[in-house]
Amino acid sequence: MSQPFFQFKQFTVWHDKCAMKVGTDGVLLGAWTPVKSSVRILDIGTGTGLVALMLAQRSTASITALEIDEAAAAQATENINRSPWKNRIEVIQQDFKHYSSKNSISKFDTIVSNPPYFNASLKCSDEQRNKARHNDSLTYEELLAGVSELLSQEGTFTIVIPMDVGEQIKTLAHKYGLYPSRQLFIITKPGGAPKRILISFRFTKQTCETEELLTETSRHQYSEKYIELTRDFYLKM
């Protein structure tokens, strides 16, 4: 049986009540998202609260962590309340479409999301896990439409997605006036093709900075670049 929690250097994430567990995608999003001048951050689909906690560690911003699933929202609240940043993070259990339609006056300078991604895969019998893994309840277009309403004019929206939907996301983002400013291709083994991509979008058209990150040089041997990116979080880095 897998451990019910994941211990980081400055906080612990319990994930036994959440459909989706602590994983590399969330860690990469939390470590790579630009937050240097962030004042208000929105984490869409916070799950365990992992990304919100990482961004709290890296910034002095106030953070809103949005989660549709009741059990996940409760566990995120517990994880945040045990952390050093409980006074800066608020968990809200609500559907993003409803939230974005009611809060468009209040803008965020940083928005992040590790969205549901198994769009075309077979669904499992666990409804909670389906909701966390499939984008039926929140399509990419609905996500980007809401982000365009909530993001400040100078703000940044950062997302982690499978490589094969990267161009689709960029096309949809363009429809809402959002343009890629940075992207990071995630390669999991030497010589392999990228499996994931992280993209930061802004309302301003600009040259998109592109980088690659190899996560492992061999099985369980992390690359120097990955260690450098995540050393403030992982215990053994």
| Residues of the chain above pLDDT 70, percent | 91
Whether the Cβ atoms of residue 50 and residue 33 lie closer than 8 Å to each other:
no
pLDDT of 126 over the 70 cut: no
**Separation CA 50–CA 88 (nearest Å):** 14
Name the phi and psi angles at 54, rounded to 5: -65, -40
| Residues of the chain above pLDDT 90, percent | 80
- Output DSSP code: residue 114: -
Give the domains, in start order, of the chain with CATH numbers. Answer: 5-230 (3.40.50.150)
Reported as a single tens digit per residue, the pLDDT across 78-101 is: 999 999 999 999 999 999 999 998
Reported as a single tens digit per residue, the pLDDT across 199-228 is: 999 999 999 999 999 999 998 899 999 999
Q: In 3D, which of 56, 116, 108 has the Cα closest to residue 82?
A: 56
Assigned token pair, 107: 């803008």
Kindly tell me the sign of the dihedral angle through the C-alpha atoms of 213, 217, 218, 222.
Answer: negative
Query: Side chain identity at 91, as an amino acid letter?
Result: V
179-187 β-sheet, strand order: 89-93, 62-67, 40-44, 108-113, 151-162, 196-202, 179-187, 209-214
β-sheet bridge partners, residue 43: 65, 112
Confidence label for 132 from pLDDT (cuts 50, 70 and 90): very low
Reported as a single tens digit per residue, the pLDDT across 152-185 is: 999 999 999 999 999 999 999 999 999 999 999 9
pTM for this predicted structure: 0.91
User: Given this model, what pLDDT does residue 120 score?
Assistant: 39
